[in-house]
Amino acid sequence: MLGKVLFATDFSECTENGVAFLKRIKEVVEEVIVVYVVDEKEITRIATNIAWLGETTKEYEEELRKKLRERAEDEMKKLKEDLEKDFKVGTVVTEGHPAEEIVRIAESEDVSLIVVGSHGKSNLKSALIGSVSEDVVRKATKPVTVVRREASI
């Protein structure tokens, strides 16, 4: 048995392959913890550009933060409903540096496996894997499965 598995998603295309992989190994999975991290760096980047355009950022930044979180909660709800057909499911929506949060949660939840997609929202054709999945592989103390976007599951 694998016990708990952490599934990191940015709700991009690769999520589908990750879900398909989890369903293939469902017999050995006790619980799936789905994690989405609102990327702090993205918020700063958008807010910095807004400031550059001469707007005041404080209110905008708070609104942006709220909207991104709401959108993530909606996406998470849909994904949870799908996964609940096969697993006990826990969800985490948090803010920060995605890879750091994923690794931290994997440790605090004491999962036996982390599942990430090879690519995410940027989905660069030339990149072997994205920077978040690379960072998770580098920093995780738990085994990591990278599900390729090209995988047929």
Looking at 25-33, 72-80, 116-124, 141-149, which segment touches Mg ion (CB under 5 A)?
A: 116-124
Does an H or E element contain 8, and which?
strand 3-8
Residue type for 100, please? E
Positions in 12-51 near ligand ATP (CB under 6 A)? 14, 35-37, 39
Q: Does 111 bind ligand ATP (CB under 6 A)?
A: no
In 3D space, the residue among 1, 35, 4 whose CA is nearest the CA of residue 109 turns out to be 4
Pick the binder of ligand ATP from 87, 130, 140, 144 (CB under 6 A).
Answer: 130
Positions in 57-86 near ligand ATP (CB under 6 A)? none
Q: Does 89 bind ligand ATP (CB under 6 A)?
A: no
Distance between CA 114 and CA 112 in Å, rounded?
7
Nearest residue to Mg ion by CB is 120
Q: How many residues can be counted in the chain?
A: 153
Nearer to ligand ATP, 44 or 131 (CB): 131
Distance between CA 65 and CA 70 in Å, rounded?
9
Distance between CA 20 and CA 5 in Å, rounded?
14
Q: Does 98 bind Mg ion (CB under 5 A)?
A: no
Cβ(128)–Cβ(148) below 8 Å: no
> What are the residues facing 90 on neighbouring strands?
33
Nearer to ligand ATP, 55 or 71 (CB): 71
Tell me the two tokens of residue 37: 């991290």
Q: Does 120 bind Mg ion (CB under 5 A)?
A: yes
Q: Does 8 bind ligand ATP (CB under 6 A)?
A: yes
Binding residues (CB under 6 A) for ligand ATP: these are: 8-10, 14, 35-37, 39, 98, 116-117, 119-124, 130-133
Residues of the shown chain interacting with Mg ion in the complex, contacts defined by CB under 5 A: 120-122
